[in-house]
Amino acid sequence: MRTLFLAALLAVAGAGSVPACAQAPAPPRDWAHGGAAPSLAPVFGGTAGTMVVFDSRRGRTFRHDPERSRRRMSPFSTFKIPNSLIALETGVVSGPDYVIRWDSIRDPRQPGFDAWWRDHDLRSAIRNSVVWYYQEVARRTGPERMQRYLDRIGYGNRDISGGIDRFWLGSSLRISADEQVDFLRRLHAGRLGFSPRTTAIVKEILVLEDTPAYRLSAKTGGGNVPGGALGWLVGYVEREGDVYFFAMNVDGKDFASVRDRRTEVARAALRRLGVLPG
């Protein structure tokens, strides 16, 4: 009788309990893993800017400020990506170790860029965003070949009328964040019409971080524009068998105000979306 009574008490106590598996609901998925899109307003903090991210596995796109994502703006040094592709394909640059000698003249309009003022090869020039190197590359490419390739790949408005060594620096060439993402998708897939060797070299020199968890390939850009400055970070993250392509631009009062902020904002946005580890 005593045994039956204890069993009844245990049964009653157990009736109100929840199985352990039901007490730990699965954490909500972030956007990168199929969850809902968060607001990036806290990341931009009231500063005008846009962020576009394309998830290749799920075929969906996230946009912060969709109207701005369609607006064409100067690419500044993000143009070093197509500039590198064209230079390699035409033979103007033979490979990632191709050196151009510095002319020993510092540009007084470019203070604070000490890493620029030496000889550079393609790999170091894109890593340090060396403007003079890529200006010389563009001159050697020439306007006819440059125009032909920009028309072929459909890069932004394809307008090089601002001068062969200036058109991408706050001048005539314009591209939107949406178009940047499309360009990067075609680059990654080898669908821009460049040789496999050219494509492989450019993809290799774009890698910023290669960790066991992810690989980040990206290029900054930025400069002064009427009324202030513009900063870019464009690229892609390869993670867990997926590729996330992104383009971010943000306004500032001058270049100094966007030089570091462009990368900080883009990284924070990618973490908030779950593209980069938190």
Interior angle at CA 206, CA 202 and CA 210, nearest 5: 125
Interior angle at CA 232, CA 228 and CA 234, nearest 5: 170
From the list 69, 74, 77, 176, the catalytic residue is: 77
Q: Is 104 a catalytic residue?
A: no
Nearest to 220 by CA among 187, 188, 265, 183: 265
8 Å CB contact between 253 and 32: no
Q: Which helix (H) or strand (E) holds 95?
A: none
Structure-derived torsion over alpha carbons of residues 139, 142, 148, 149, reported in degrees to the nearest 10: -30
The 3 state secondary structure assigned to 155-175 is: CCCCCCCCCCCCCCCCCCCCE
8 Å CB contact between 261 and 231: yes
The catalytic site residues sit at 77
